[in-house]
Amino acid sequence: MEQLTVVWRAMVLDRDPGADVRDLPGIAVRWADCRFAFWNCVTLTEVGADAGLVGRRLVQAADIMRSKRHPGFLWIFEDLLGEEARAALEAAAEQAGLEYAFPGTGMAGDLLPVPEPAHPDLTFVRVTTDEHLRTYADLNSRAYGFPLEDGRDGLAGSRLWKGRVHAYLGMRGDVPVACAATVEAEGRLFVILVATDPDWQRRGYGEAVTRKALYEGARATGLTRATLHATVAGAPVYPRIGFEANSPMRFYGLTG
């Protein structure tokens, strides 16, 4: 959760210096209010909150989300909730006007440095130009089912992604097939926006380019621990690199 609030602060303010970035009691707001829904984020931050408090926080979070132009997600780290609150979460979310969108898994590992990666089909290109950024955005849009314009709205023109972020494209000849990035966040490398083109999945491309981003990030920073938030598609890949699951996650959007 702390890695999310640190990394998303940087990502959201990079997208819009006037974005809504606030740390409220029990709620962190990281909301760019752009078309790229992953940059529109609210999360609960209290540890061990009971069912009553979680219910109130869900209502507050939904009210924040309703005040925005563009949709986004409430991120819930289940292991931060008290046992009673976890059991009551679905009913409380429904009462607050939230609906379950998809699951995730928080992962971490003391796994760096990793060996320099290689894949017989791929070459790796670091993201340094606006064209690279557009390609990176389009890979994410195709992988996660967003319109291309939504992904581009999240990354177009970013200085952060062409500098501080160790972002790489996996190229099969002239065809971009996968991408991954790492960024330093308070003593960790955070893995972010990993995607593989749906036409090129199950060939090890996502794992290879993730290893590349980790390798280069570790080489640049000297860090040894890495964290990430995995989707269902990515969850089986990361343990092969050395990550271990540490908390199930749930993503919610507004009802309707």
pLDDT in tens, 193-252: 999 999 999 999 999 999 999 999 999 999 999 999 999 888 999 999 999 999 999 999
What is the predicted pLDDT for the residue at 93? 98
- Alpha-carbon distances of 199 from 163, 170, 238, rounded to whole Å: 29, 14, 21
Determine contact, residues 170/122, Cβ cutoff 8 Å.
yes
- Whether the model clears a pTM of 0.85, i.e. scores above it, the answer is yes
What is the predicted pLDDT for the residue at 150? 97
What is the predicted pLDDT for the residue at 19? 98
Amino acid at 242: G
CB atoms within 10 A of CB 18: 8
Q: CA 73, CA 98: separation in Å to the nearest integer?
A: 10
Burial of residue 117, with CB atoms counted within 10 A of its CB: 0-12 exposed, 13-18 middle, 19 or more buried: buried
Please state the three-class secondary structure of 162-197 as a single string.
HCCCEEEEEEECCEEEEEEEEEEECCEEEEEEEEEC
What is the predicted pLDDT for the residue at 234? 85
List of the chain residues with pLDDT < 70: none
Determine contact, residues 57/75, Cβ cutoff 8 Å.
no
What is the predicted pLDDT for the residue at 233? 83
Q: Structural domains in the chain?
A: 2-105 (no CATH), 123-223 (3.40.630.30)
